[in-house]
Amino acid sequence: MGVLVHGHWQDQWYDTDSTGGHFERSAAQFRNWVTPDGAPGPSGRGGFAAEPNRYHLYVSYACPWAHRTLILRQLKGLAPIIGVSVVHPLMAEHGWTFATDFDGANGDAVNGHQRLYQLYQQALPDYSGRVTVPVLWDTRTDTVVSNESAEILRMFNSAFDGVGARAGDYYPAALRSEIDRLNDWIYPRINNGVYRAGFATRQQPYDEAVNELFAALEQLEQRLAQQRYLVGDRITEADWRLFTTLVRFDGVYVGHFKCDRKRLIDYPNLFAYTRELYQMPGVAETVHMDHIRFHYYRSHPSINPHGIIPVGPQPNFSRPHQRNAIHAGGLS
């Protein structure tokens, strides 16, 4: 893996020496918004009006942040009007690439690049920073609209409603403060918590991350015994953001990232909740466990030097979930 420095690719691993063994994720830099009429969004500049077949999404099936955007694209019926390029699951010295010798990795049909960093160079020749997925690309102006999944999620939720998106609001106005509160609590402890544990290079930051992670999972286990979804009886963005971490938990985070105090399948409510979300129409087809396991176990040689992909565990997400009986106010 590496970074771009003034447009030049440099192969280097995360620098945790300067942060005392802690892993710190850097902020995404392209922060424009697609809006119904092209007016500027909460950040960045305007000019990105919602139109069918204008925008293209670059993802890795392995990446939990990219996965959120794929799920919203699916739920909102955007697949026919926003195309997708899937990178190869191996992220090595050239970063993410468009090699197609892995089932599902479909290359870059839009710009014809070999490597993802070339897309960033195309958008901004002088770019300095990480080269991450997901990327929302504008084929009209040949630039990156956004490389921040949390914001792409919000755009997919509503910006395309006038140009053919399916009904459905996963960030309803009345629930926003509760969703934001949950996201802010879940992100550091769980979504990024597994990375903080897995990429720690000293004992103490690892201990800290893993303790916070499992304390948070215990709390959610209790919450989901009382209510069907994170915010009561309605599925919201907060659920999808949690789902992409939970669905990877036993397959990679338990082993590869040493998050092994418990497995997902040891939490009856969290596991059943994950199964219910997995079984929603269109969601299972966004989950590609072969990309997920290959990516993590092969792309981090400092954690898994021989690149052996272990056998499991691999939970069965298709088993009945039996969550129908749970309503916001507790078991009916």
Binding mask 183-222 for ligand GSH (x = CB under 6 A): ----------------------------------------
Of these, 35, 97, 121, 132, which contacts ligand GSH (CB under 6 A)?
132
Report yes or no: 276 and 232 within 8 Å, Cβ to Cβ: no
Restricted to residues 17-56, the positions that interact with ligand GSH (CB under 6 A) are 28
86 belongs to the binding site for ligand GSH (CB under 6 A): no
67 belongs to the binding site for ligand GSH (CB under 6 A): no
Report yes or no: 175 and 231 within 8 Å, Cβ to Cβ: yes
Report yes or no: 248 and 257 within 8 Å, Cβ to Cβ: no
13 Cα distance to chain centroid: 20
Report residue 229 as tokens: 């979804």
Structure-token match 């447009």, residue found: 7
Of these, 65, 98, 249, 257, which contacts ligand GSH (CB under 6 A)?
65
Of 14, 120, 170, 195, the active-site residue reads: 195
Of these, 4, 59, 63, 231, which contacts ligand GSH (CB under 6 A)?
63
Min. distance of Cβ 116 from ligand GSH in angstroms?
Answer: 8
Min. distance of Cβ 31 from ligand GSH in angstroms?
Answer: 10
Q: Cβ neighbours of residue 278 under 8 Å, at least 6 residues apart?
A: 243, 247, 284, 287, 317, 318
Nearer to ligand GSH, 197 or 272 (CB): 197
Question: Active site includes 63?
Answer: yes
134 belongs to the binding site for ligand GSH (CB under 6 A): yes
Min. distance of Cβ 274 from ligand GSH in angstroms?
Answer: 19
User: Within a 10 A sphere around the Cβ of 266, how many other Cβ atoms?
Assistant: 13
- 3-state DSSP assignment of residue 97: strand
HSE (side-chain half, CA atoms, 13 Å) at 235: 17
Report residue 48 as tokens: 């990105």
- Interface with ligand GSH (CB under 6 A), residue total 14
Measure the CA–CA gap between 40 and 71, rounded to whole angstroms: 25
131 belongs to the binding site for ligand GSH (CB under 6 A): yes
Of 63, 170, 253, 296, the active-site residue reads: 63
Of these, 133, 175, 224, 238, which contacts ligand GSH (CB under 6 A)?
133
Share of the chain residues as helix, strand and coil, in percent rounded to the nearest 5: 40, 10, 50
Nearer to ligand GSH, 158 or 245 (CB): 245
Nearer to ligand GSH, 14 or 160 (CB): 14
105 belongs to the binding site for ligand GSH (CB under 6 A): no
Please give the helix or strand (H or E) that residue 56 lies within, else none.
strand 55-59
> Of the ranges 125-133, 222-230, 286-294, 305-313, which one interacts with ligand GSH (CB under 6 A)?
125-133
Nearer to ligand GSH, 59 or 213 (CB): 59
Of these, 32, 149, 236, 245, which contacts ligand GSH (CB under 6 A)?
149
Give all strands of the β-sheet with 2-5 in edge-to-edge order: 8-11, 2-5, 129-130
For helices 64-75 and 237-248, give the axis angle rounded to 10 degrees: 130
Report residue 225 as tokens: 């015994």
Min. distance of Cβ 95 from ligand GSH in angstroms?
Answer: 6
Q: For 171-203, b where at least 16 C-beta lie within 10 A, e where not — what string? A: beeebeeebeebbeebbebbbbbbbbbbbbbee
Min. distance of Cβ 182 from ligand GSH in angstroms?
Answer: 17
Q: Which stretches of the chain bind ligand GSH, using CB under 6 A?
A: 1, 28, 63, 65, 95, 130-134, 147-150
Catalytic residues: 63, 195
